[in-house]
Structure 1
Amino acid sequence: MNNQLGLLPTDLCLAIVEACDEIIRGEWHEAFVVDVIQGGAGTSTNMNANEVIANRALEILGHKKGQYKHLHPNTHVNMSQSTNDVCPTALRVTLIIMCRDLIATMVSLQRSLENKAREFQDIIKVGRTQLQDAVPMTLGQEFRAYAIMIAEDICRLDEAKDLVREINLGGTAIGTGLNAPIGYAKLITARLSKLTGIRLKTSANLVEATQDAGAYVQLSGVLKRVAVKLSKICNDLRLLSSGPRCGLGEINLPNMAPGSSIMPGKVNPIIPEVVNQVAFQVIGNDLTITMAAEAGQLELNAMQPIIAYDLFESLSLLQRGIHTLCHKCVRGITANPKRCRELMEKSIGLATALNPVLGYEKSTKIALEALHTGKSIYSLVLEKNLLDKARLDELLSPENMIVQ
């Protein structure tokens, strides 16, 4: 762009482009030595890149490294730019790419959960609230709810990703565009959009965009939301598969590894446990990102490096964790229909269906008596001649109690 505008000689431009292409191919990465967590809002990383590019370009031109009178890292490589617009733009482009990858992985998980919902749609079980028996439902309904939870978060992540498309490139130091040619911001945004295939747009106010970290907070909040709901689903999978004989045992998770160094035959739910831990890390990262965003002062937020580091980590962890959950757990889940039916028929939650006919007080007494005596709701109602068998069969049929 600087060459096109007549600001950068063609020979220097071609050398810089060739050096950049080599870096893109993976060369010279050993020359990038700056730690990602740094002061200066990313200046160290930006200058590390400028110096590597400049020195390699000098070699391409036939000069020695460090002969900056021929091609300078600030004057030529950093021309029309500043750390304060280049680093945020690079961050946002990367975030969009990583969000796309995460969304694709979430779609795979959603589809796998939907497939399980269809597979389990006729398996009746007892629902639970506060870990206590509630009313009948199908295992398919349980898994469909999980699929919908993931689908909702795909939409929220897509919305957050859209906010990140707005960049401040061309604003230079504080957003006023000092040392950049007139119109440079729109021209460079159009060029970058074409190169990346991402519909980037120049912020309406570059001064605001240079200091505002709101889009990062929004994205991190959505990632936390994904993590929280994902962890809740994994908690459920661990509970539903607990046992194998002394727990709920309504589903079976794929056996991924022996679960004990001392107890023979024990198999632990290691994949959901891994994803739980991923969620904890993402939730912690969100707090760091929130504090870093709040710590901005005046025209710049110097804490951007840790924001970038933690957003990248959260996106990467979630993408890998969800992929593992989908392929090594959800797709291999099987159901135990007999166990589901057995627990459902023992549930005192069936008494809820008697409320409209017998009233809440009488239904409660029956439920409590069933609990204390071990008798079923069904047998107690018949024993007390509260309803005839035909009417009771209709009311307590689990199939009639399930609203699809």
Structure 2
Amino acid sequence: MGTRKEHDFIGELEISDDVYYGVQTFRALDNFQMSGRRLKNYPFFIKAFAQIKKAAILANKEVGVLDSTKADALAKAADRLIQGEFLEQFVVDMIQGGAGTSTNMNVNEVLTNIALESMGHKKGEYQFLHPNDHTNLGQSTNDTYPSSIKVATWNKLSDLTKAMETLKTELENKAKEFKDVIKMGRTELEDAVPTTLGNTFNAFASYIKSDLERVQYAKEVMSTLNMGATAIGTGINCHPDYKNIVEKKLNEITGGNFKPAENLIAATQDTADFVFVSGVLKTAAVRLNKIANDLRLMNSGPRCGLGEINLPKMQPGSSIMPGKVNPVICEVVQEACYEVIGNDTTIMLCSERGEFELNAVEPGIAYALFNSLILLENAMKTLASKAIKGLNANVESCKKSVLNSIGIVTAFNPILGYEKSASIAKEALQTGKAVGDICLERGYLPKEEIEKILDPQNMLNPQMKAKK
């Protein structure tokens, strides 16, 4: 392939004819080599940016500042990006200086050169269609970049919701399956009082239900955009009617319900919405991590641990110990959760770094937020399909732990009082005797009443009667 000359106000560069990006993307490619993760690795972000650009193009056409020939060519080019074409042309590093200008220009240049070819021109013949004058008309990085992050996040939150619904359903199924499986409850890793395995999984499902409600609200937060703000929120270089039309066009393109911010100046400099969404993701990660860790502990064994459940056997667990199987799905889910929790700190710090009319480190927010969305969605899917769905209960092991526990002495409290119950527990620990046998030996209660009190089923619900 040959080359073409492109220039910006810094100077002139030779650009290979086989690429659709131009001089500003080329400079960013050379300047920013940080994460090794490029824009093309986040196709949902490219799609969102193309949807924003198409909405801007159609709005500019409607208000009469962009002629139909140019607008139609650019809109068709945007459609091709929305459909997933030209991914390899999005080469800038996700971590970049300049508040996202390099990402915006990567999109502008690719769109422009695709449109130029469709108009019968060569790449780089910007006298016919220009990345800044036409593709970026009435826009700035400072409104298109954060708006694209929000559209991308809105879409990924929809994907996350589906993954969470699947996990919740699997947990609810297990709650029903295990509703009669008695097990020992534990507090601070010590014997507490009996519960059921069904109760355990029902509580897990409740976590996810609560987080689903928060994710739905986070989607609403992401639906408020600052399109029409241009550089700092004043709308300079933008048609007066543009901001009233661009969100309408975007909603037609995406099927969403995006709306303009009440104060475009505030919305352009404030990135706290991303902090809020990240906080929702962090909360979900904390809860998911607890579920994964509890599953690991309940699965521990097979001979020397709790052995209350059997997780599906996914792979050999050791290169030296034959027969060992590790809870690898729970472990990988926990690792993903830890990164989501860490990303929240990154997002908080980047958001705090905003100064005056703009936050220059929004790319750091986008990178961390997108990674959290991807990780959390995959973690939810993985735990549901590879751990929850195929696990089963060790019914006898669960029951045995209840019958052999010292913790069941708690059931004597309402009848014998705390001091006598504590004394029984102490002797049981010292001698290894069952708490019921000690109670009988001491003559505190008849055998029939002891058996009734210590029936695990009678310990699952409130039993105390009002005094007459």
TM-score range, shorter chain: over 0.9
1:210-229 alignment runs, 5 A limit: 210-229=268-287
1:123 CA drift (Å): 0.8
Q: Which string of whole-angstrom CA distances, capped at 9 and with x for unpartnered residues, describes residues 133-170 of structure 1?
A: 00011111111110101111111111122111100001
* Corresponding position: 1:199 with 2:247: no
* Corresponding position: 1:160 with 2:218: yes
1:268 to 320, 326, 334: 326
In structure 2, the partner of 1:73 is 131
Q: Distance in 2 between matches of 1:149 and 1:292?
A: 29
SS at structure 1 position matched to 2:127: coil
1:55 CA drift (Å): 2.1
* Corresponding position: 1:334 with 2:392: yes
Comparing 63-72 with 394-403, which one deviates more in the overlay? 63-72
Q: Distance in 2 between matches of 1:57 and 1:343?
A: 70
1:36 CA drift (Å): 1.3
* Corresponding position: 1:314 with 2:372: yes
Counterpart AA for 1:288: T
Q: Distance in 2 between matches of 1:186 and 1:400?
A: 65
1:125 CA drift (Å): 1.1
In structure 1, the partner of 2:153 is 95
Counterpart AA for 1:259: G
Q: Distance in 2 between matches of 1:30 and 1:250?
A: 49
* Corresponding position: 1:62 with 2:86: no
In structure 1, the partner of 2:81 is 23
In structure 2, the partner of 1:36 is 94
* Corresponding position: 1:236 with 2:298: no
* Corresponding position: 1:352 with 2:413: no
Tell me the C-alpha RMSD between the 2 structures: 1.1
SS at structure 2 position matched to 1:137: strand
Counterpart AA for 2:73: A
Q: How many residues matched?
A: 404
Counterpart AA for 1:216: F
Q: Distance in 2 between matches of 1:73 and 1:231?
A: 46
SS at structure 2 position matched to 1:41: coil
8 Å CA contact 2:229–2:264 kept in 1: the answer is yes
SS at structure 2 position matched to 1:135: strand
Runs of 4+ in 1 over 3 A off after TM superposition: none
With the length of structure 1 as denominator, give the TM-score of the two structures. 0.98
Higher relative contact order (CA 8 A, sep 6+): 1
1:12 CA drift (Å): 1.2
SS at structure 1 position matched to 2:228: coil
Q: Which string of whole-angstrom CA distances, capped at 9 and with x for unpartnered residues, describes residues 171-201 of structure 1?
A: 1111111111113112101110121011111
Counterpart AA for 1:348: I
> Structure 2 unaligned runs (5+)?
1-58, 463-468
In structure 1, the partner of 2:245 is 187
State, as a whole percentage, how many aligned pairs show the same letter: 52
1:378 to 436, 450, 458: 436
Q: Distance in 2 between matches of 1:198 and 1:351?
A: 57
SS at structure 1 position matched to 2:183: strand
1:367 CA drift (Å): 0.4
With the length of structure 2 as denominator, give the TM-score of the two structures. 0.85
Q: Which string of whole-angstrom CA distances, capped at 9 and with x for unpartnered residues, describes residues 209-249 of structure 1?
A: 00111110000011011111101111100000100010000
Q: Distance in 2 between matches of 1:91 and 1:392?
A: 64
Q: Distance in 2 between matches of 1:27 and 1:352?
A: 66
8 Å CA contact 2:63–2:241 kept in 1: the answer is no
* Corresponding position: 1:174 with 2:232: yes
Q: Which string of whole-angstrom CA distances, capped at 9 and with x for unpartnered residues, describes residues 39-80 of structure 1?
A: 111101111111122222222222222222221111111111
1:112 CA drift (Å): 0.6
1:286 CA drift (Å): 0.6
